[in-house]
Amino acid sequence: MERKLVWGGIALLALLSLAAGILYVTRKPSFHGSVIDPPAPAAEIKLTDSNNQPFTLSSQRGKVVLLYFGFTNCTDECPLTMAKLKQTFDILGKASSNVQVLMVTTDPARDNPAQMKKYVTQFNPAFLGLTGTPDELQQVYSDYGVAVESNGETHTTFLYVIDQNGNFRLTFIGPQMNPQDVADDVQTLLKGN
């Protein structure tokens, strides 16, 4: 009788271990940002980058993209957000080579490719600024739900996180985000979660 109890206990322990293993492997990762569930395909972006080259969002597949809308004459949210993205890159270290920061201008009258390059590279040489014609930009604003006033100011301060497959995964409020939280979420995405 004692043998049956021992074997029953071992079988129960094995079953519980198996169940715990399955739960561990299949659990959803915990993110700091606001999760978009289910992930949604990010709209294509076709603009001109800060190197004065044609740019498409789809060319970034395989990288995590951190997308922000702002303008170079901004004195508040934009420089604060970009500084926090620089800190995020510093935290990521070598893993930052698998991440692309993009800032889409909301002031195309003043933000030409040269101005965008001067602005974004002061935070990190790998960051790209994007600009285009008013019609091209209006399409992007519309696709991403960005409202832009006549002077380039926007009330959208979201940082959009797009995974390696081109899907929206997370958002952060740019000026309020914690660089460590963004870095942790990027690392989770880079692991394929």
Q: Do residues 129 and 45 both lie within one domain?
A: yes
pLDDT per residue as tens digits for the range 147-165: 888 776 766 789 999 999 9
Q: Do residues 76 and 157 both lie within one domain?
A: yes
pLDDT of residue 174: 80
Query: How many other C-beta atoms can be found within 10 angstroms of the C-beta atom of residue 111?
Result: 24
The reported pTM is: 0.84
* Torsion 139-172-64-77 (CA) sign: positive
Q: Do residues 109 and 171 both lie within one domain?
A: yes
pLDDT of residue 84: 97
Phi, psi of 35 (to 5 degrees): -85, 135
> In terms of C-beta density within 10 A (0-12 exposed, 13-18 middle, 19 or more buried), how is residue 62 classed?
exposed
Q: Containing domain of residue 26, as a range?
A: 1-30
Split into its structural domains, the chain has a count of 2
Q: Do residues 99 and 185 both lie within one domain?
A: yes
Q: Do residues 44 and 21 both lie within one domain?
A: no
Report d(CA 108, CA 131) in Å as an integer.
6
pLDDT per residue as tens digits for the range 89-137: 999 999 999 999 999 999 999 999 999 999 999 999 999 999 999 999 9
